[in-house]
Amino acid sequence: MPDSGVMNNSCVPGSVMVGVDGSPSSDTAVVWAATYALAQRRPLAIVHGAGHPVPTDFTDFTGDVAEAHQDLRMAGRHVSDHALGLAQATSPAVDVSVHLALREPRELLLEMAKDASVLVLGTRGRGSVASLLLGSVSVALAAHAPCPVVVARSPRASAGPDGLPVVVGADGTAGSAGALTLGFELASEQNRRLEVVHAIGDAWLFPFPGLVSSEMVNEEINGWELLLAESLAGYSEKFPDVVVDSRLVRGSPAQALVSASGAASVVVVGSRGRSAVTSRLLGSVSRSVVEHAQCTVAVVRGVGT
């Protein structure tokens, strides 16, 4: 049975976690998370950070703080109860827990994400939180959360008889393994095609592009195609129902994936983790895709990050 009154900061290990704030994009995230939890046969944890109470009457500081606590808690319960009802309507068979705390959303979600299999967020907030989402909350959590992070956008109409595909950005290295696995899982669960995109860019042509012959270009492309094919080895046996189209594209990875998102149901991209550089947020590719994609985006950490 769902629990609409749990006030602790932990959830069942392996839960699908969704951060909510009562906004329309939050509802989109709840629907995505509840659907994914059902497909994965995992419990769903609804999390709402209601923020810290701010007293306004300093002549009666104690009473004002208590009233501010009560107001925030009541508003938070309204948000979490709405999300609970939406999750139950979407996936009635999923076990749901609700976690409400008078804390900032980012710090609460980051703390609780250690027990989650995936963290799902919306793209826009409400009120004072609107300036943080998609800004610092979604992007920072995608950068620092210890689990994959999904930034959910409203689904769009299907294109053609096969619908919109799942797109994965891959570079042929072990760092793409997590993104490929999630991409295959989503394609299988949703009965969609999988497009694996490797953007090669033009940097390898410099500093002397005029000295690169067509034979050298073809040799380089053949090497990338072989590397990409090798990185996909074994997935067909594990996901025989998934139709896969892998392709190399010219241009930057960020541009290629943002462009592909216009005709995709979800884009899955890897992240390089918590190095000194990426701790600034996500790095150029993941952050650009999270912020500019036209569909849902999933960010998965690479091996060893």
Exposure letters 100-111 (e unless 16+ CB within 10 A, then b): bbbbbbbebbbe
CATH number at 188 reads: 3.40.50.620
| 267 is a domain residue | yes
Do 188 and 96 fall into the same domain?
no
Radius of gyration from C-alpha coordinates of the chain: 21
What is the distance between the alpha carbons of residues 300 and 273, in angstroms, rounded to a whole number? 9
Same domain membership, residue 127 and residue 69: yes
Claim to verify: residue 215 and residue 97 sit in the same structural domain: no
Residue 192 CB neighbours (<10 A): 22
Structure pTM? 0.83
Last residue of a domain, one of 116, 151, 186: 151
Q: 114-149 burial, b for 16+ CB within 10 Å, e for fewer?
A: ebbbbbbbbbbbeeebeebbbeebbbbbbbbbebbb
With CA atoms as reference, report the closest residue to 45 among 102, 109, 123: 109
Please name the helix (run of DSSP H) or strand (run of DSSP E) that holds residue 106, with its range, or none.
helix 105-112
Using a 10 angstrom Cβ sphere, with 0-12 exposed, 13-18 middle and 19 or more buried, the burial of residue 294 is middle
Beta strand 149-151 with 96-101 is: unpaired
- Asked if residue 249 is part of any domain, the answer here is yes
Is residue 8 in some structural domain? no
Range(s) of the domain holding residue 33: 15-151
- With respect to residue 161, please indicate whether it lies within any of the assigned structural domains: no
Residues 185 and 291 in one domain: yes
Check whether residue 170 and residue 270 sit in a common domain: yes
Domain harbouring 102, CATH code: 3.40.50.12370
Tens-of-pLDDT digits for all 305 residues of the chain? 344 444 566 789 999 999 999 989 899 999 999 999 999 999 999 999 988 766 555 555 555 677 777 888 899 999 999 999 999 999 999 999 999 999 888 889 999 999 999 999 998 654 433 333 444 567 778 778 889 999 999 876 655 556 899 999 988 777 788 999 999 999 999 999 999 998 876 555 555 555 656 676 666 677 667 778 888 888 988 999 999 998 888 778 889 999 999 999 999 998 764 433 333 334 568 888 888 899 999 999 764 44
Number of domains in the chain: 2
Sort residue 103 into left (φ over 0), alpha (ψ -120 to 50) or beta: beta
Are 142 and 176 in a shared domain? no
In this structure, what token pair is assigned to residue 244?
Answer: 């896969």
